[in-house]
Amino acid sequence: MNSSRVQAYIWRHRRNTATVEVRLSSLELKHTFFFTLHSYKLSFNMLTKGAIEALTKCSNDLQNPILQLVNIRKIDGGSGPARFRLMMSDGQHSMSSFMLSTQLNPMAEDNRLAPNCICQLKRSVTNVLKDGRRVVVILDMEVVKSADEVAGKIGEPQPYVEGSMNKGPSRAFGGKMGMPPSAMPSTPGGSSKIVPIASLNPYQSKWTIRARVTNKSGIRTWSNSRGDGKLFSMEIVDESGEIRVTAFTQEVDKFYSIIETGKVFYISKGSLKIANKQYSSLKNDYEMTLNGESTIIPCEDTQDVPMVQCNFVSIADLQAREKDTILDVIGVCKSVSDVTRLNTKNNREVSKRTLNLMDQSGKLVEVTLWGEEAETFDGSGQPILAIKGAKLSDYGGRSLSASFSSTVMVNPDIPEAYKLRGWYDKEGHSMAGQSLTEARTGGGGNTNWKTLADIKTEHLGHGDKADYFSCIATIVYIRKENCLYQACPSQDCNKKVVDQQNGMFRCEKCDKEFPNFKYRLILSANIADYGDNQWVTCFQESAEAILGQNAAYLGQLKDSNEAAFEEIFQQANFHTFVFRNRVKLETYNDESRIKATVMEVKTVDHKEYSKRLIMNIRKMASAQ
Amino acid sequence: MLSRYISRPICFVRRVEKVHPTGNSFSLSDGDWSAASVELNEPLDEELSGVVEVLGMVSNKGTIMASAYNILREDKGIPFNLELYNEVLKVIHDFPQHYPFGIATSG
């Protein structure tokens, strides 16, 4: 007989017997032979011997084992998707802790996974629970023989019992393995295979992923009634998807310096929870938090891991989106302004830069960059700018801000960037574009304009925090008594010094004595508008602006020429300014009073003021 | 347009178009309305250009008999803004109850 291809089907009739149908196929000859075998070895050749034991022991040697599905049970997922629990057998042993990953649920739902069917396990991960029990999560599986093609249960599989269990991880590997956890195989993540980000869920904690960091935030610290805290967050991506990762306190110390944007890492054993969509635009129902068990190890083999995943929103569509949404944008930087520096409320300096972004929709939007990004951004040559995780604001209509956790990419190497470049060079450069962000008036947009009467009627300053507002008011009186004090001459210290009466002045803050001091102003003034008046306190800069003289000169004048000194105060009266004020209700000994401090004094921009008044008049008229 | 205000005192703010060589009169225009002619009691003793505010009576012929004029500088101090001024005028005319400009006659 010639050797030919033989197709053999193993049919099971009874336990321990098998009927083999062998077909020799050639064009002329078709013979069917039936064998009845009393050896159950043949039937077991189909299933991968020892697979159950190997899976349970997290062996990495197993290649696509073939198992038989003994039983399948649906577990209600509550608010999440349903889970299916399977009992699988390799003919020798059975194990009932197989969980079907949710992406394979359809296989169970359409009854492809019925008891007795033969399956080939293509990808799985074995997780060890805290009590030592094993759960094998099935990530990819194929039914090689459907249940109705199989006669029944193959062999007499006994439930697999490990050497020792329930006593914790140190004994979980039993005598055979003999390795304490610390000497576990050096493959990153230890016992687990690499799983895709898309498979991560809160029900398993022992997994390893391999992902690239697309964005890493700075360290954010806070201090509240419960104490101090810090965190940093990052976004990571692999072939299957992306996810946001946050590390708190100790994990910040452990991992912050290891993580580098653009590099690939093996990460294992983070905690998963439902994602707070407020902080992230990533496509993942879950987000991860690193904990004491988590590990992060750099990965050298980065070929398959993608660079970044972005879901760009057209600039024209920004109009329809809600404010505070986090989204990705890409466009041509049509124009850019210079870097400016602002002082935050905590008197910290921060750099800021605005630019205009335009895309094929013909619409423009103003984007604000902060900090180092603002300083280093080079807008020359109209570069393509992509921002992942920008924050949409309703300032000026619609505008964008690159927040603390956004990723800014200049001329990124992605297809959308090339498309934009081509469009811009051909037609975009000659388009004026329509901006979604209204040009700001000199006052600096978003100014909280009030009148002095509003302080009382709106109870400004009565809340937990101080209220800030701007108003246009006229100075009607300035107290010249006690307007100057002697301050520490040191550069950054303004503390009042104590006159030692021996020609020396002592500063308690610097803990030093000086032979001199510098004069500083604290002015108490009364300002008024058509409706009300208000006592306000002005410090150095605003005081000097109001009086039109610097503190040193005033100090000198006070000691030498009383009349001239008084004249300055007279001259300062009845000037009108824009005052930016801070008001807060303060209580001293059962008495509550509004304390108003002038943060900044500016000259009135009459054009802007008139426009604003006209606008308010028209608004009031139409409201009637 | 001025025919409505014949024999009435008006305050007229417009841009100077042409000054008559004698200096006794000049014309005003702002593009919307046809030129209005202003006649002075005494000839001009200075260069007149830019935006001026003219106070006077409208004559039967439709010219303004000026009793006073002010040059509103657009380049010095707080620059005068004709556009904004027009907006404000509209507001004043739309809400006369809030802006009761009028000449009180005594007796």
Chain B nearest C-alpha distance from A477 (Å): 25
Q: Which residues of chain A neighbour B88 with C-beta distances below 8 Å?
A: 610, 614
Average pLDDT over residues A601-605: 90
Chain B contact present for A615, CB below 8 A: no
The answer to whether A614 contacts B91, with C-beta atoms less than 8 Å apart, is yes
Q: How far apart are CA A232 and CA A249, in angstroms?
A: 9
Q: Do B91 and A607 touch (CB under 8 A)?
A: no
More confident residue, A549 or A61: A549
* Secondary structure tally for chain B: helices H, strands E: 1, 5
Chain A 582-611, residues with CB within 8 Å of chain B CB atoms: 606-607, 610-611
Q: What would the mean pLDDT of B27-42 be, rounded to a whole number?
A: 81
pLDDT, residue A570, reads 93
CB–CB contact A621 B78 (8 Å): no
Kindly list the residues from chain B whose CB atom is less than 8 angstroms away from the CB atom of residue A614.
84, 87-88, 91
Is it the case that residue A14 has pLDDT exceeding 50?
no
Choose among A258, A271, A412: nearest CA to A333.
A412
Q: Are A557 and A565 in contact (CB under 8 A)?
A: yes
Cα A550 from chain centre: 47
Which of A577, A604, A608, A610 is most worth mutating to test chain B (most B CB atoms within 10 A of its CB)? Answer: A610
* Residue B31 pLDDT grade (very low, low, confident, very high; cuts 50, 70, 90): low
Strand order of the sheet with strand A30-37?
A6-12, A18-25, A30-37
Smallest CA–CA distance, residue B79 to chain A, in Å, is 9
Task: Tell me the mean pLDDT in the region A461-468.
Answer: 84
Task: Give the Cα separation of A617 and A330 in Å (integer).
Answer: 40
Chain A residue nearest residue B78, CA to CA: A606
Residues 338-357, chain A: which have Cβ within 8 Å of B? none
Does B95 sit within 8 Å of A606, measured CB to CB? no
What proportion of chain A, given as a percentage, has pLDDT over 70? 83
The SS3 of residue A130 is coil
Q: Provide the shortest C-alpha distance from residue B89 to chain A (in Å).
A: 10
pLDDT for B75: 83
ipTM of the complex: 0.84
Sequence letter at residue A181: P
Number of residues that make up chain B: 107
Please give the single-letter amino acid code of residue A620. M
Residue A2 has pLDDT above 80, yes or no: no
Shortest CA distance from A613: residue in chain B: B88
Please state the pTM of the whole predicted model. 0.42
Taking only the tens place, the pLDDT of each residue in B45-75 is 888 888 999 999 999 988 899 999 999 988 8
Q: How far apart, in Å, are the Cα atoms of A135 and each of A95, A108, A171, A202, A558? A: 9, 18, 17, 14, 85
Contact list in B for residue A606 (CB cut-off 8 A) is: 78
A44-52 mean pLDDT: 80
- Looking at residue A133, its pLDDT comes to 76
Model confidence over A576-594: pLDDT tens digits?
Answer: 999 999 999 988 888 888 9
Q: Do B81 and A621 touch (CB under 8 A)?
A: no
Mean pLDDT on A399-421: 83
Integer Cα distance of A99 and A621 in angstroms: 68
User: What confidence score (pLDDT) does residue A368 get?
Assistant: 92
pLDDT class of A526 with cuts at 50, 70, 90: very high
Q: Which of A606, A611, A621 sits opposite B78 (nearest CB)?
A: A606
Rg (CA), chain A: 37
Give A289's pLDDT tier (boundaries 50, 70, 90).
very high
Q: Does position A163 have pLDDT exceeding 80, yes or no?
A: no
Q: A352, A361, A349: which is closest to A401 by C-alpha?
A: A352
Least confident of A53-67, A485-499, A558-572, B84-98: A53-67
pLDDT number for residue A284: 83
By three-state DSSP, how is residue A253 classified? helix
- E strands, A249-319, are 264-268, 271-274, 286-289, 295-298
Most confident of A157-161, A167-171, A406-410, A419-423: A419-423
A4 CA to centre of own chain = 62
pLDDT for res A567: 92
pLDDT given at position A357: 92
The answer to whether B94 contacts A606, with C-beta atoms less than 8 Å apart, is no
- Among A408-417, A425-434, B41-50, top mean pLDDT goes to B41-50
More confident residue, A5 or A299: A299
- Give pLDDT, residue A62: 72
Residues of chain A with pLDDT > 90, as a percent, come to: 23
For A183-227, what is each residue's pLDDT tens digit? Answer: 323 334 344 578 888 888 888 878 899 998 888 888 888 888 888
Is the CB of residue A429 less than 8 Å away from at least one CB of chain B? Answer: no
Size of interface A-B (CB pairs under 8 A): 17
Q: Beta strands A505-507 and A498-499: pairing type?
A: antiparallel
Contacts of B81 in chain A (CB under 8 A): 607, 610
pLDDT, residue A40, reads: 41
> How far apart (Å, rounded) are the C-alpha atoms in residues A478 and A489?
26
| Residues of chain B that touch chain A, judged by Cβ-Cβ distance less than 8 Å | 78, 81, 84, 87-88, 91, 94-95
The strand ranges marked E within A508-575 are 512-514, 518-528, 533-539
Measured CA to CA in angstroms, residue A161 lies from A132, A153, A204 at distances of 12, 20, 21
Name the residue of chain A whose CA is nearest to B98's CA.
Answer: A617
Q: B-chain residues within 8 Å CB-CB of A618?
A: 91
Query: What is the mean predicted confidence (pLDDT) over A470-492?
Result: 91
pLDDT at A11 over 60: no
Task: Output the pLDDT for position A453.
Answer: 92
Joined together, the tokens standing for residue A553 give 């000169």
- pLDDT of res. A3: 53
pLDDT tens for each residue of A234-258: 989 887 888 999 999 889 988 998 8
Bridge partners, residue A212, by sequence: A237, A264
pLDDT mean across residues, chain A: 80
Higher pLDDT, A268 or A189: A268
Cα(A192)–Cα(A176) distance, integer angstroms: 19
**Average pLDDT score over residue span A419-443:** 72
DSSP A311-372: -B--GGGGGGSPTT-EEEEEEEEEEE---EEEE-TTS-EEEEEEEEEE-TTSEEEEEEEEHH
CB contact under 8 A, B84 and A607: yes
Residue of B nearest to A617 (CA): B91
**Which residues of B20-103 form beta strands (DSSP E)?**
25-29, 36-39, 51-58, 64-72
Nearest to A386 by CA among A211, A214, A213: A214
- Whether A607 sits inside 8 A of B81 (CB atoms) is yes
The values of phi and psi at residue A560, to 5°, are -110, -35
pLDDT at residue A18 is higher than 60: no
Strand partners, A529: none
Q: Is A274 on the interface with B (CB under 8 A)?
A: no
β partners of residue A407: A388
- Distance from C-alpha of B5 to C-alpha of B20, rounded to nearest angstrom: 24
Residue given tokens 């024999």 in the structure block: B7
